[in-house]
């Protein structure tokens, strides 16, 4: 099975596999959402099953919760956990300061709440997610359904005065209906192309009535683990100012791949 993975999936897998080295027995761990985070959940489940690792997982979406339970991870709510030792999640983009765009999977609100309730946030990503300047990936805004078109129009007007390259916005759809988040909200995607001042933009959009939260994660991420298709892994620690490299041998990971079923 490892040999059948695409280079991108191999990159996601090695980043996810490296990230679980940070998880220790007895920890309360935030479980991210998305394709890379799903690999991480599988890697954690293998440690629970094979090594007897005891953890409490706090999922950032219903689909992550379902996967974690299915694989045997003990799942609790954030209210039960109160505070987390660690959150591991993916990202749609990250820059050199480890600022992120998240929310491509529609779980940005719960992801940000869980990440900020953690002693440490680790982001796992393939190398294609690294950018010089955030903004090529559409920035999601979670908005309440009431008056969403008014909210959208006000956001578009506000963007005129901000340092962005594009100002097109769109309501995220699920087929012929609006996409609905786990909290029952809509998502408006901002197609900005380039964000000149991410901190200013994050503060501005969150002042807009109707906007619940935005997908910019500023000064939240502590470590980014970057996977490459050849098995190379880079660990970048923003607090320590270090970059470490290693390599993962796929032949050692047969147990994890044997029960994928997909």
Residues forming the active site = 111
First to last CA, the chain: 10
- What span, in angstroms and rounded, lies between the C-alpha atoms of 262 and 257? 10
Give 64's DSSP letter: H
Both tokens of residue 73?
Answer: 């991870």
Both tokens of residue 237?
Answer: 């620690």
b/e burial code for range 192-211 (CB count within 10 A of at least 16 → b): beebeebeebbebbeebebb
Both tokens of residue 76?
Answer: 């609790």
Question: CA nearest 99: which of 112, 110, 109?
Answer: 112
């Amino acid at each position: 099975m490892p040999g059948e993975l695409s280079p991108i999936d191999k990159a996601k897998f090695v980043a996810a596999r490296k990230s679980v080295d940070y998880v220790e027995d007895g920890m309360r761990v935030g479980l991210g959402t998305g394709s890379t985070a799903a690999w991480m959940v599988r890697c954690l489940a293998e440690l629970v099953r094979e090594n007897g690792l005891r953890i409490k997982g706090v999922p950032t979406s219903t689909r992550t919760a379902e996967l974690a339970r299915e694989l045997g991870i003990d799942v609790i709510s954030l209210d039960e956990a109160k505070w987390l030792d660690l959150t591991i999640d993916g990202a749609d983009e990250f820059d050199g300061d480890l600022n992120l765009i998240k929310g491509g999977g529609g779980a940005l609100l719960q992801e940000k709440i869980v990440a900020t309730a953690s002693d440490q946030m680790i982001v796992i990503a393939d190398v294609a997610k690294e950018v010089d300047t955030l903004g090529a990936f559409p920035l999601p805004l979670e908005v309440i359904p009431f008056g969403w078109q008014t909210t959208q129009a006000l956001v578009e007007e506000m963007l005129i005065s901000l340092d962005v390259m594009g100002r097109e916005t769109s309501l995220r759809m699920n087929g012929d209906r609006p996409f609905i988040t786990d909290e029952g909200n809509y998502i408006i995607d901002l197609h900005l192309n380039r964000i000149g001042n991410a901190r200013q933009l994050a503060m501005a959009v969150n002042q807009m009535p109707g906007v619940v939260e935005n997908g910019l994660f500023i000064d939240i991420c502590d470590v980014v683990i970057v996977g490459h298709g050849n098995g190379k892994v880079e660990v970048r620690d923003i607090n320590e100012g270090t970059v470490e490299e290693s390599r993962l041998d796929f032949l050692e990971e047969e147990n994890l791949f044997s029960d994928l079923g997909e």
